[in-house]
């Protein structure tokens, strides 16, 4: 059994927020920031009965759980990949065999790992309408609710996955749904066995939701191989539905989950090769969104200075979040087209503990694409202000840079931006 290198306790706790599922479906909350951090496809058709090494398909695995309804005859060398110790389940009974599922994931990934403890919890159903926009999102006009996610997932209950522990609430979920959630959270656990992922997490090089895209991709391969569905959908189809029906505050996270999974699917040909996604990882959300190599389309030069503000928060948001923001008032096609010319950006949040105020500096790849973004922002401004979501104003710096101010009327009317398209100074009134 391979052993993991121990992590400092505090750092491990912080990184688990990145690696596990803290938001619905594990969507990342990490921005595309530089200041902070089948076997290809469906696989073979199963045969009549499955025999897992060390676990009878009809007998108890030791935790009182029935076996998944798998049908593939598996084999592995004694003590090798797919012959892990039994999974310990506490807090309740699962409708699937946690050990069988874990060993299947081991074989998909080709990684030998000490299994995490699975803890069955008794939390309430998740209400997507309770997702609140961040302060910066509020300044940009995001509102809570306004989605129809339940049409995609039915009732959703919380789950999370870390290096040594997986938690899941069963509620009224079907056995197939529980199985797919377990797979997803197991993959989060397995990511800590991938040296390239661990190094990227330590260095703050995880962007665009890739740490979530890997579990979605692997779970998709599992669902195809073992013919499992959630509400009639595969995991990737589920993310597509969620992105299309997400409320405003959830859409950036739903977008990262979906586009990161597609990125992984396009970059590797087997779950056993997921380490290649982190060797090296993508540098920008643009690369994730468009399936580009990590050295393609590097961010354009942009320096943003802030004048007249106490402790401003500055980070890069990325093209995925730009597209998601434009979707708050524009069609999907219009938002995608207007965001596609993204070159780089900085989003500045002014003040701490005050009414949210934001300046978003966006340098596009060309004058034409800056024109297109500016026109889209003007139309978005009309929509958001018509429903009193926020006040917006955009201004142009040079030919390629658009600056958007969002927040209270007095801030938006009097905030300023000056400089050149690659060196911009923003100031709060």
Looking at the fold, whether 234 and 273 belong to one and the same domain comes out as yes
The C-alpha atoms of residue 379 and residue 10 are separated, in whole angstroms, by 46
- What radius of gyration do the chain's Cα atoms show? 23
Q: How many Å separate Cα 14 from the centre of its chain?
A: 17
Looking at the fold, whether 104 and 150 belong to one and the same domain comes out as yes
Nearest CA among 260, 266, 133, 145 for reference residue 206? 260
Confidence of residue 147 (pLDDT cuts 50, 70, 90): confident
Threshold 0.85, pTM exceeds: no
Looking at the fold, whether 285 and 310 belong to one and the same domain comes out as no
Looking at the fold, whether 283 and 146 belong to one and the same domain comes out as yes
Confidence of residue 351 (pLDDT cuts 50, 70, 90): confident
Residue 272: the pLDDT is: 95
- The stretch 327-333 carries a mean pLDDT of 95
Looking at the fold, whether 185 and 59 belong to one and the same domain comes out as yes
Q: Of 205 and 320, which is predicted with more confidence?
A: 320
- Pick the last residue of a domain from 290, 324, 345: 290
Asked whether residue 27 carries a pLDDT value surpassing 90, the answer given is: no
The C-alpha atoms of residue 24 and residue 132 are separated, in whole angstroms, by 13
Rounded to the nearest integer, the mean pLDDT of the chain is 83
Task: Give alpha helix (H) positions in 114-250.
Answer: 135-139, 150-153, 175-191, 195-202, 210-226, 235-245
How many percent of the chain have pLDDT more than 90? Answer: 65
Looking at the fold, whether 207 and 77 belong to one and the same domain comes out as yes
- Pick the last residue of a domain from 266, 290, 314: 290
Cα angle value 105/110/111 (rounded, 5°): 80
Residue 423: the pLDDT is: 97
The C-alpha atoms of residue 173 and residue 165 are separated, in whole angstroms, by 20
Least-confidence region, from 234-248, 279-293, 302-316 = 302-316
Residue 30: the pLDDT is: 43
Asked whether residue 71 carries a pLDDT value surpassing 70, the answer given is: no
Structural domain range at position 371: 303-427
Q: Of 417 and 47, which is predicted with more confidence?
A: 417
Query: Model confidence over 353-400: pLDDT tens digits?
Result: 678 899 999 999 999 999 999 999 999 999 999 989 899 999 999 999
How many percent of the chain have pLDDT more than 70? Answer: 80
Residue 82: the pLDDT is: 65
> What is the number of structural domains in the chain?
2
Residue 41: the pLDDT is: 31
DSSP string, 121-142: E-PPPB-GGGPPPPHHHHHTT-
Confidence of residue 9 (pLDDT cuts 50, 70, 90): very low
The C-alpha atoms of residue 8 and residue 295 are separated, in whole angstroms, by 31
Query: Model confidence over 174-220: pLDDT tens digits?
Result: 999 999 999 999 999 999 888 888 887 777 777 889 999 999 999 99
Looking at the fold, whether 320 and 280 belong to one and the same domain comes out as no
């Amino acid at each position: 059994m391979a052993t993991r290198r121990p992590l400092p306790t505090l750092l491990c706790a912080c990184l688990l927020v990145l690696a596990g599922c803290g938001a619905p479906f594990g969507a990342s909350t990490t921005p595309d920031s530089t200041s902070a951090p089948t076997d290809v496809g469906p696989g073979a058709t199963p045969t009549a009965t499955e025999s897992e090494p060390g676990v009878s398909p009809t007998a108890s695995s030791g935790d009182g759980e029935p076996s998944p309804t798998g049908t593939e005859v598996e084999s592995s060398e004694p003590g090798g990949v797919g012959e892990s110790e039994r999974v310990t389940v506490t807090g309740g009974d699962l409708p699937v065999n946690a050990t069988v599922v874990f060993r299947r994931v081991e074989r998909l990934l080709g990684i030998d790992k000490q299994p995490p403890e699975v803890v069955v919890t008794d939390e309430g159903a998740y209400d997507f309408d309770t997702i609140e926009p961040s302060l910066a999102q509020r300044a940009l006009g995001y509102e809570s609710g306004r989605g129809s996610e339940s049409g995609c997932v039915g009732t959703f209950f919380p789950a999370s996955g870390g290096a040594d522990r997986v938690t899941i609430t069963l509620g009224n979920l079907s056995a197939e749904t529980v199985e797919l959630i377990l797979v997803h959270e197991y993959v989060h656990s397995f990511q800590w066995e991938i040296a390239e992922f661990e190094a990227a997490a330590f260095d703050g090089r995880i962007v665009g939701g890739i740490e979530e895209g890997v579990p979605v991709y692997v779970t998709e391969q599992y669902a195809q191989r073992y013919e499992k569905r959630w509400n009639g959908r595969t995991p990737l189809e589920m993310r597509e539905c969620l992105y299309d029906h997400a409320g405003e505050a959830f859409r950036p996270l739903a977008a990262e989950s979906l586009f990161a999974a597609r990125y992984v699917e396009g970059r590797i040909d087997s779950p056993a090769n997921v380490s290649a996604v982190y060797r090296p990882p993508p540098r920008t959300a643009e690369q994730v969104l468009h399936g580009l190599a990590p050295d393609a389309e590097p961010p354009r030069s942009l320096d943003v200075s802030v004048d007249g503000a106490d402790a401003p928060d500055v980070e890069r948001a990325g093209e995925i979040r730009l597209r998601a923001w434009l979707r708050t008032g524009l069609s999907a096609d219009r938002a995608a087209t207007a965001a596609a010319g993204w070159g780089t950006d900085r989003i500045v949040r002014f003040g701490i503990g005050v009414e949210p105020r934001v300046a978003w500096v966006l340098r596009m790849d060309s004058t034409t694409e800056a024109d297109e973004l500016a026109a889209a922002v003007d139309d978005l401004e009309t929509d958001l202000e018509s429903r009193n979501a926020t006040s917006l104003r955009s201004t142009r710096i040079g030919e390629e840079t658009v600056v958007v101010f969002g927040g209270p009327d007095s801030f938006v009317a009097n905030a300023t931006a000056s400089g050149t398209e690659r060196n911009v100074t923003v100031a709060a009134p």
